[in-house]
Structure 1
Amino acid sequence: MENLDEIDRQLLTILQRDAFVSNKELSQQVGLSLTPVHERVKRLERDGYLKSYVALVDRKKIGRELVAFCQVSLKEHTQEFIREFEAKIGSLPEVMECYNIAGPYDYLLKVVVKDMDDYRRFVVEQLAALAHIGGPQSVFVMAEIKVSTIYDL
């Protein structure tokens, strides 16, 4: 962050809210002409501050009603088993996020599926099929209070 000035932070904040905003709109909002805004955005992309541009889909509109956080422990912690687990988890479309965590569990998965039957199928057919995992513990989202993709800069 030390390489970012106030205009860079403004650009990042605006683009987090709307990745499709035009350079013309960006230039008006930050008070610079088109060319410097374009160059700054390209630099932010090149330097890795802007990783990608995405469209956020409403999960409920596509039938993904159930969100579960699943805590998983590995029975063995060899490099081979860790790599194997992480590669397999990374390939499962139901797993939206996966974190290696400290504490009584090794991983925290955010799983999004159609319903409880679909979650049971995921646990039985996908998760239980993975070698070297302990019994997963799950908690289910009753209501989303805050979901954000915007970092405060």
Structure 2
Amino acid sequence: MPALDKKDLEILKLLQQNARMTIKEISEKVHLSTTPVHERIKRMEESGVIKQYVTLLNASKVGKGLMVICYVSLRQHSKNAGEKFIKGILEMTEVLECLTISGEFDFMLKVAVADMDEYYNFHVNKLSNIENVGNVQSVFVMGVVKMTQQLV
């Protein structure tokens, strides 16, 4: 894929703000006709710059009002052990994000659940039951100052 130019970045910014914008609305804002805007979006989709379109939800309004950041360390650090952990995490709907990190812990999870009882069940009966999980440190989110997925 060729490097993204200024118009590509403008289009991406608009789509990140509102993925439901029409090609016509985008073309008016970036001062291009609809055909080149459509071709640029299609090219960015095909090349993987645009991964997918999603709808962001209000967690508390869909019964997931407790957000928890979990730091997880594994007991063993073999490729097989890491793959088993990742496979287990990918099956857990409570886990919104799983990042491999450096430092004292190996992974950071962003978990959304209804309440403390549901988190307890997740921690004890799911996360801690994954083979090779060592230490888990949970940090409870008290408020959100900024949450975005906007990169440009």
Q: Give the TM-score range, shorter chain.
A: over 0.9
Following the alignment from structure 1 to structure 2, what is the Cα–Cα distance between the partners of residues 86 and 58? 27
Equivalent-residue separation in structure 2 for 1:112 and 1:42 (angstroms): 33
Q: Deviations over 1:104-145 (max 9, x none)?
A: 001100011001111000001001111111131010000001
- Where does residue 83 of structure 2 map in the other structure? 83
Q: Which amino acid aligns with 2:34?
A: L
Query: Which structure has more strand as a fraction of its residues?
Result: 2
So what's the TM-score if we normalise by structure 1? 0.96
SS in 2 for 1:108: strand
Please give the secondary structure, in 2, of the residue aligned with 1:28. helix
1:38 is aligned to 38
- Report the 3-state secondary structure (helix = DSSP H, G, I; strand = E; otherwise coil) of the residue aligned with 1:52: coil
Per-residue deviation, 1:2: 7.1
Distance of 1:67 and 1:47 partners within structure 2: 33
CA-atom RMSD, angstroms?
A: 1.2
Q: How many equivalent residue pairs?
A: 152
Percent identity at matched positions?
Answer: 42
1:136 is aligned to 136
The answer for the alignment partner of 1:99 in structure 2 is 99
Segments of structure 2 that go 5 or more residues without pairing to the other structure are none
Task: Give the 5 Å matches for 1:2-151.
Answer: 3-151=3-151
d(CA) in 2 for partners of 1:132 and 1:20? 43
| SS of equivalent residue, structure 2 residue 126 | helix
Q: Distance in 1 between matches of 2:23 and 2:2?
A: 24
- Structure 1 residues without counterparts, runs of 5 or longer: none
Q: Deviations over 1:63-97 (max 9, x none)?
A: 11100100111001111111010011011000000
1:34-66 per-residue CA deviation (whole Å, 9 max, x = no partner) reads: 111111110111111110011111111111110
| TM-score, normalisation: structure 2 | 0.97
CA distance in 1, matches of 2:66, 2:54: 22
The 3-state SS of whatever aligns with 1:14 is helix
Q: Aligned partner of 1:60: which letter? A: S
